[in-house]
Amino acid sequence: MAPQSYFLGGKIRASDYNGFADDINEIVGIGAGDSGYGQSHLVIPNVASGVKINASHMQLLLTALKFAGRHQGTTILSPEDTSDPDFPTAGRLIELIPNLTTDITNVRSNKLNFDIVMMTVAQNVISSSKTYVPPTQTGDIWDSQVTYEVSAIFIDEDSRRHFFNSGGEIRLDTNFTASGTDSQSLDWEAMFNAVGMVKMSHNITDVTGSTGTPGGGFTGLTSTYSKIYEKSGGDGGYSSYYGNNKYEIKARLNGTNAIDFKLDFYDTHTADTGFYGGVPWTGQDYVAGTLTAQVDIQYANDTDPSGLGVVVDPAGPGPTFSHISEL
């Protein structure tokens, strides 16, 4: 809401300016909850009571507003830089900016939006892979449950929030390449082809494929593992045999600065048995091939030449990753 003293012909007081600054700082600065991008370079200092607001003060305000809107894809109607003749400059009277309060309101309303061109995807920040063989061979056997756990580690609790508030995603890309032509292994391969990539964002988990059941996102996590995605087998055309096989992803908050992910691969199929010509037989019950779990991330990365864009990357406050248990 615009300060009552901020009107055409009136003077902008320190309290007016500080109110505008606080509203913008809640979005670009530390913030709280689902507000805040953690961009200290865009935070606007408050001024003391009685200070005369000049062009440099207004420039700070409009610059922070510009880059918040740029990150979100929010159209800013106020002057953004010196290319606009209405942008405040030294020696000029500080004039009313008609759209300032509207722009601030819109940036606050759109705080969880992001423009995809302001984001970067880092692929394969960590991965685990294992090849499974038939029981007749020497090596790792997959005939029941396989598990992979990985942790995303942030600098602190605020950095964890800022990553997701600014459009960050943790993406889990799992695939399986069958080593033979057996239907049990091919069904797992078909399942992951159908799933595509699982992406956990601020308040939802989504998939690039068209199957499975996604769940909530970062804001729904607690310190106890909860399911954010599941998918049953049967995509290879053998649902009656492998429909109870399941791929599940669980996530939890770990302390104040980490998120753990647990990927469970349940092969619940049991071998068929019977008699042929009076002779008992037992069918196959194993999965043979190479299973790979890869983590990608999407993060805010405005590469504006000024260096003032919203950036939350792995080299700074963004997450690093560590295996808890590999495949």
The C-alpha angle 8, 53, 85, rounded to 5 degrees, equals 65
Q: What sign does the dihedral 295-299-305-308 (CA atoms) show?
A: negative
Q: Is 217 exposed, middle or buried (0-12, 13-18, 19+ CB in 10 A)?
A: buried
CA dihedral 146, 147, 148, 153 (to 10 degrees): 180
Tokens of 307: 């260096």
Q: What is the pLDDT of residues 255-307, one digit of tens each?
A: 999 999 999 999 876 555 444 455 444 456 678 899 999 999 999 999 999 99
Residue type at 49 in one-letter notation: S
Cβ of 227: how many Cβ atoms within 10 Å?
Answer: 16
Mean pLDDT of the chain: 88
Residue 8 predicted with pLDDT over 60: no
**Interval 56-68 mean pLDDT:** 94
Instruction: Break the chain into its structural domains and give their ranges.
Output: 14-109, 116-325
- CB-based contact 288:178 (threshold 8 Å): yes
Which residue is listed with tokens 């992951």?
A: 192
Amino acid 321: pLDDT: 96
Amino acid 274: pLDDT: 45
Nearest residue to 245 (alpha-carbon basis) of 134, 131, 142, 141: 142
The DSSP secondary structure of 222-250, one letter per residue, reads -SS-EEEEEEES-TTTTHHHHTT-EEEEE
Residue 90, CB half-sphere, CA atoms under 13 Å: how many?
1
Amino acid 136: pLDDT: 86
**Interval 70-98 mean pLDDT:** 80
Could you say which DSSP state residue 301 is in? B
More confident of the two residues 313 and 59: 59
Point out which residues pair with 136 in neighbouring strands. Answer: none
Amino acid 235: pLDDT: 78
- pTM of the shown model: 0.90
